[in-house]
Amino acid sequence: MLNSRSRLLRAASLAVLLATAPALSALAQDTATPAAEAAAVDPSTVVASVGAETITEGDLAFAAEDMAQDLAQMPPEERRAFLVRILIDMKVMSGAARAAGMDQTEIFAQRREYLEERALRRAYFAEAIAASVTEEAIRAEYDAFVEAFEPVDEIRASHILVETEEEATTLKAELDGGADFATLAREHSIDPGAANGGDLGFFGRGMMVQPFEEAAFGLEEGAVSAPVQSQFGWHIIRLEEKRQSQPPAFEQVAPQIQNQLLMRTFTEKVEELMAGVEVTIEDPALKAKFDAQEAAENAAAGQ
């Protein structure tokens, strides 16, 4: 009997749901599928006929949801015709299957039950879980993040990287004599950022190798360091600017926050639904593997 569910398996379960329902909120990644197009029209509108059978806009929307990964690989202008072709084939082949009595078999009944439960699972996820992860909820989570954000020191520095101390000493003397730092960086530095005049952009502590970091953070704005050695060679560093870090803009982190809220809401809802439910895995080998995954996940979470 299992009284809890593995986070690993739950995360995988959520990933499957997200893969088959790509447009769950206004902030979800734009997929431009026919499902989005169909949402703006009457789902009962007939798109095509196959004998006495009809294909509607609703059918297209369901097919687009079911084939989201395939559609993502083709140009948007080709997707609608592709889905119509799939649905035509489906109508013809399903009719042939019924005529052959395939809809009366036990295996078909099992498959139909599975597909019904899969559809209900998607519907529950979309309406009871994903629908609660609104833009307002995401913004509230972002506001809490901003309120708890603790700024740290950041600097923007440029450097010239050369192979020997002699080269670095010579270049430092030229800088002391008034040479332009960016020009010398472009001409002599072996660092990939030489084309930008050696500009490294902003960075905080822990992002650079220790000797470089200590020297850079010890400078005043506009000051140039003596040659500093690291495992990469010899650096001459100029401190361009100091600042306190700022929280990222809402637009930058909204997708990440949305995914976190989806995972949290999904986990809480599944735990609520699983309360008091007994689950038994009959195959001992499968149960052992399931339990091992669950134990590893709980250990990783410190439980």
For 144-199, how does the pLDDT look when each residue is reduced to its tens digit (9 = 90+)? 999 999 999 999 999 999 999 999 999 999 999 999 999 999 999 999 989 999 99
- Strands 46-50 and 53-56, sheet pairing: antiparallel
Query: What pLDDT does residue 2 have?
Result: 42
H-helix or E-strand spanning residue 233: strand 233-244
Query: What pLDDT does residue 57 have?
Result: 94
Selected residue with higher pLDDT from 20 and 223: 223
Q: Span 112-136, mean pLDDT?
A: 93
Selected residue with higher pLDDT from 297 and 19: 297
Is residue 303 predicted with pLDDT exceeding 70?
no
- Report the C-alpha gap between 300 and 289 in whole angstroms: 17
Is residue 227 predicted with pLDDT exceeding 80?
yes
- Report the C-alpha gap between 134 and 58 in whole angstroms: 25
- Report the C-alpha gap between 215 and 236 in whole angstroms: 10
234 bridge partner residues: 162, 229
The CATH code of domain 153-244 reads 3.10.50.40
Between CA 221 and CA 232, with CA 227 as vertex, the angle to 5 degrees is 105
H-helix or E-strand spanning residue 221: none
Domain range list for the chain:
1-18+120-149+249-303, 26-100, 153-244
- How many Cα atoms sit within 13 Å of 216 on the Cβ side? 33
Task: Choose the weakest-confidence range: 55-59, 169-173, 211-215, 273-277.
Answer: 273-277
